[in-house]
Homo-oligomer: A and B are copies of this chain.
């Protein structure tokens, strides 16, 4: 019987996911920080499983595990990251890596696709233990010399020393071969509650949203909270609270349903019951898929600060922070392949959606066509020990990703 499409092995898929989970397992979650001993152990195991699958696999000079198909190109790269947050879940990143491994095996086992080249990657340090997206940035040729020289983890360990301890100091780094590697697919858990709320099982990502981060500082007059009448106070904390309402008004008028903004931190100085705050700082982040809307929100913020300073004695200052990221659109043709695979295997149960979180795909999409597929996160929870996805949804996601990968790899050859 001729099979048009590869078939994944659900038992093998789940077994590999659960074995990867065992590296750093902590209760239901995982603690597997980039380049920690347990992360290196996991990478060695992963390179071994890739080798078992017929790939030429190795850990490269920054820690990325790369399994190169022995088939000639053009190749589809499938991957994600296997490092975790300090209190990580078992699927964030790991899911996309093991999907890649399983899809490489499944295509190799299917008559129609066995000549297709699928390279598999686990990019190092997506989570930024040392330097966010280090592996994917190194792969595409972005400058990472500053990170290699001076990035440190929370314990103060230099990235260079961590690589030396892992025996990677003189190991070559894998780099993008544009002639061979023509497309990138990153499967991932959603990390939000939108699929669940919409009763959908597959998300086809349209855009990875852009991010802006600002500090807003308010300079008033520190005073005794008992002896200073309300009428003559210049309370920096009260100004901060009033300003947040203006932000909510202005952003609410500009937003669509996917726009998000967050005040994640507030500090009042000196921070005691009996003192009217003389200084106050808030941390504001906003995200949107539309670069024009991000720009409009930024302009609105600048205008609010100007207007405020024209009307109030407590002075507001806007400080742009590092961490700005532009929205990245996923490749339309690749999205189409994902959509057709989802339509075939989960008709009526998939949707287009933006990614509110950052991913290695946004780095790689600057250089080759890239796409992402989401599976649901139970309760929308991620970066937490209790992060989870139903097993049948994990399997379905891999079936859709494999079908799409076969379509994409086939198209690359035409």
Binding site for B on A (CB under 8 A): 190-194, 197, 209, 211, 213, 223-232, 235, 237-238, 241, 244-245, 248, 255, 257-268, 271-277, 283, 285, 287, 321, 323, 355-358, 380-383
Roughly how many angstroms separate A104 CA and B65 CA in the complex, as a whole number? 86
Roughly how many angstroms separate A227 CA and B321 CA in the complex, as a whole number? 21
Roughly how many angstroms separate A356 CA and B228 CA in the complex, as a whole number? 8
A265-B272, A273-B321 given. 7 additional CB < 8 A pairs? Answer: A226-B287, A230-B259, A231-B257, A235-B262, A238-B263, A262-B273, A264-B274
Roughly how many angstroms separate A283 CA and B274 CA in the complex, as a whole number? 10
Neighbouring B residues of A261 by C-beta, 8 Å? 230
Q: Looking at A191, A194, A229, which has the most chain B CB atoms within 10 Å of its CB?
A: A229
Within 8 Å by CB of A287, from B211, B225, B244, B259, lies B225
The smallest C-beta distance from A275 to any residue of chain B, in angstroms, reads 6
B266 and A225 form a contact (CB under 8 A): no
Within 8 Å by CB of A237, from B257, B266, B380, lies B266
Q: Looking at A237, A241, A358, A380, which has the most chain B CB atoms within 10 Å of its CB?
A: A241
Roughly how many angstroms separate A380 CA and B275 CA in the complex, as a whole number? 13
Roughly how many angstroms separate A235 CA and B244 CA in the complex, as a whole number? 14
Neighbouring B residues of A190 by C-beta, 8 Å? 227
A224 and B323 form a contact (CB under 8 A): no
Which residue of chain B is the closest to A283 with respect to CB atoms? B273
Neighbouring B residues of A213 by C-beta, 8 Å? 273
21 intermolecular pairs with C-beta atoms under 8 Å apart: A192-B229, A194-B229, A224-B356, A225-B285, A227-B355, A227-B382, A230-B259, A230-B260, A232-B380, A237-B263, A237-B266, A238-B244, A238-B248, A241-B241, A262-B274, A263-B277, A264-B272, A265-B272, A273-B285, A273-B321, A274-B285
Neighbouring B residues of A193 by C-beta, 8 Å? 227-229, 232
Which residue of chain B is the closest to A286 with respect to CB atoms? B225
Neighbouring B residues of A194 by C-beta, 8 Å? 227, 229
B244 and A230 form a contact (CB under 8 A): no
The smallest C-beta distance from A355 to any residue of chain B, in angstroms, reads 8
A227 and B191 form a contact (CB under 8 A): yes
B238 and A241 form a contact (CB under 8 A): no
A229 with B257: in contact, given A223-B380, A274-B264 (CB under 8 Å)? yes
Neighbouring B residues of A225 by C-beta, 8 Å? 260, 262, 264, 285, 287
Roughly how many angstroms separate A197 CA and B231 CA in the complex, as a whole number? 11
Neighbouring B residues of A238 by C-beta, 8 Å? 244, 248, 263
Roughly how many angstroms separate A285 CA and B228 CA in the complex, as a whole number? 13
A268 with B271: in contact, given A228-B192, A258-B229, A383-B224 (CB under 8 Å)? no
Roughly how many angstroms separate A258 CA and B190 CA in the complex, as a whole number? 54
Roughly how many angstroms separate A277 CA and B285 CA in the complex, as a whole number? 13
Roughly how many angstroms separate A373 CA and B209 CA in the complex, as a whole number? 63
Neighbouring B residues of A258 by C-beta, 8 Å? 229
A197 and B265 form a contact (CB under 8 A): no
Which residue of chain B is the closest to A252 with respect to CB atoms? B230
Within 8 Å by CB of A268, from B265, B272, B383, lies B265
Neighbouring B residues of A277 by C-beta, 8 Å? 263-264
Which residue of chain B is the closest to A238 with respect to CB atoms? B263
Within 8 Å by CB of A380, from B228, B264, B267, lies B228
Counting from the closest, the 7 A-B pairs by CB-CB distance are A192-B227, A226-B356, A227-B356, A225-B262, A265-B271, A266-B266, A273-B285
B260 and A357 form a contact (CB under 8 A): no
Neighbouring B residues of A224 by C-beta, 8 Å? 191-192, 356-357, 380, 382-383
